[in-house]
Amino acid sequence: GNSVTQMEGPVTLSEEAFLTINCTYTATGYPSLFWYVQYPGEGLQLLLKATKADDKGSNKGFEATYRKETTSFHLEKGSVQVSDSAVYFCALSDSGAGSYQLTFGKGTKLSVIP
Amino acid sequence: DAGVIQSPRHEVTEMGQEVTLRCKPISGHDYLFWYRQTMMRGLELLIYFNNNVPIDDSGMPEDRFSAKMPNASFSTLKIQPSEPRDSAVYFCASSFGTSGSNYNEQFFGPGTRLTVL
């Protein structure tokens, strides 16, 4: 079956530090990959996506590249801000296998301190 | 677009009471998902619908949980009777599934925080 594994948190960084949150996946087909972000007290919202191998998703300074050879989709940002403090979820959609579900990782909590 | 709408935002009830959570998906979306989020178990998919028909309810924890989607613009998740271990944040999400597409972004509502005393 499909699964997503992301690094355990929490992660605490100082403002302007470099961020990497690792994510690897297992899928039966050719999935689309997503990063969702959840700010305190809110629902999840899509941060970025990639639909095929070697695609790079980017938004708000965050980037992630779909690496089929390593089955990875690591999230990076060059300089984090306090406002980036949130929980980040890696997810995949394997509709090629006939399912329109999203399979989520457990989430990584990021705290950015001034 | 108003996005996915959930009500109530907060619900506090006593053990044994019936709880009904409501969701209005984004207009035109044909998939609707119910999730539960807790600190211990993270984000769990409970059930999802396609064109108002339940497709997979394998995540529904017990017979005390039931979900309906009487039309394309409304769904309910009911817990009867409620128990303290049902305390969680319940999210509704919707998406537009295109046959053959490999991209199905889900849009989440703000969630209902349920506390069962």
Residue scoring higher pLDDT (B106 or B71)? B71
How far is the C-alpha of A103 from the C-alpha of A97, rounded, in Å? 13
Nearest-Cα distance to chain A for B17, in Å, is 25
User: What is the rounded average pLDDT of the residues B44-63?
Assistant: 92
Q: Is residue B73 over pLDDT 60? A: yes
Cis peptide before B25, with omega less than 30 degrees from 0?
no
Are the beta carbons of B42 and A30 separated by less than 8 Å? no
Q: Is residue B36 over pLDDT 80? A: yes
User: What is the rounded average pLDDT of the residues A13-24?
Assistant: 97
How far is the C-alpha of A94 from the C-alpha of A84, rounded, in Å? 28
Q: Tell me which chain A residues have a C-beta less than 8 angstroms from the C-beta of B109.
A: 43
How far is the C-alpha of B84 from the C-alpha of A79, rounded, in Å? 42
Supply the pLDDT for residue B106: 87
Out of A45, A89, A95, the one facing B101 most closely (by C-beta) is A95
Supply the pLDDT for residue B96: 84
User: What is the rounded average pLDDT of the residues A35-61?
Assistant: 93
Closest CA to A97 of B61, B93, B104: B104
Supply the pLDDT for residue A22: 97
The Cβ of residue B4 has, within 10 Å, a number of other Cβ atoms equal to: 23
Handedness of CA B40, B60, B34, B8 (dihedral sign): negative
Supply the pLDDT for residue A113: 96
Assign A69 to helix, strand or coil. coil
